[in-house]
Amino acid sequence: MTANSERRHRANAACACDTNTRKAVAVDPEIKAANRHRLRRIEGQIRGLQKMVEDDRYCADIITQIASVQEALRGVARNLMRNHLRHCAAKALRSGKKQETQAMYDELLELIYAHLR
């Protein structure tokens, strides 16, 4: 999110997220638990990657493990997006307030564009 759009979102979007402190307010407990579990697993994978590099393991094997970590991180991002859409975005889009709705559309498009790479 660019600095301008972030300021615009904070000023205009009244969603389930506290945009002043940038803290989520309505976090689905199941999604949070799943994300915490995935992140702990990813943490272990990263430690394994460090050991592979220290042990001079075959480059292709390390690259394969890096791809696995990247996919796991994408899974966390998908869960976060799911929560954001269910709570923050849904509330802003249903608000009927043009500025809030537009700010949320802009934020969602920026998130999608940034993560399509």
- The model's pLDDT over 24-81, given as tens digits with 9 standing for 90+, comes to 767 888 889 999 999 999 999 999 999 999 999 999 999 999 999 999 999 999 999 8
Q: Is the pLDDT confidence value at 101 over 50? A: yes
Neighbours of 87 (CB within 10 A): 19
Residue ranges and CATH numbers for the domains of the chain are 3-115 (1.20.58.1000)
Quickly state the pLDDT bin for 17 (edges 50, 70, 90). Answer: low
Q: Which is more confident, 88 or 38?
A: 38
Residue 90 pLDDT > 50? yes
Q: Which percentage of the chain shows pLDDT scores above 70?
A: 79
Do the beta carbons of residue 30 and residue 89 sit within 8 Å? Answer: no
Mean pLDDT for all residues in the chain? 84
